[in-house]
Amino acid sequence: MRPKVAVAAVLRSPENQVLLIQRGHPPEMGRWAVPGGHVEAGERYDHALVRETREETGLAIVVGPLLFVSELMTENDRWLILDFAATAESGEPLGQAASDAKRLGYFSFAQCQALDLASGMAELLTDSQVRGYLQWE
């Protein structure tokens, strides 16, 4: 099975919290994840990330370096997920949930542990490079 490619944004608040969305549609409806989505044919990764993040959060972002790469296997699909550091261009602390996002918010590491996280999110949030970017001890 040939993998599909998805991108996701690790957005840090000034208080060192991470922006998560609660998924409003399958897959993993109701679970929490960093904003992102699929890369369309012929689309650059950074353009896909800007598009997907705006669709889900209403935020305009600047894409930073690649932080984490993961693979997700489902019954019907195989995904390669590229997680990038990102900053909100507008400087606003929060946009509005949109697209397939039901809710969104910034969360500390302790708060993230209490959420029903989507597949791969626990690994992402405990990765040393991601934790360094988020400035989590």
Q: Which tens digits make up the pLDDT trace of 14-27?
A: 899 999 999 988 88
Q: How confident is the model at residue 135 (pLDDT cuts 50, 70, 90)?
A: very high
- Which position has the token pair 């296997």? 73
Q: Domains of the chain by range and CATH?
A: 4-134 (3.90.79.10)
What pLDDT, on the 0 to 100 scale, is given for residue 96?
A: 64
What pLDDT, on the 0 to 100 scale, is given for residue 99?
A: 72
Which residue, 103, 78, 5, is CA-closest to 46? 5
Which position has the higher pLDDT, 125 or 91? 125
pTM, full prediction: 0.92
Model confidence pLDDT, tens digit, residues 62-114 = 999 999 999 988 888 899 999 999 998 865 555 567 777 889 999 999 999 99
CB atoms within 10 A of CB 87: 14
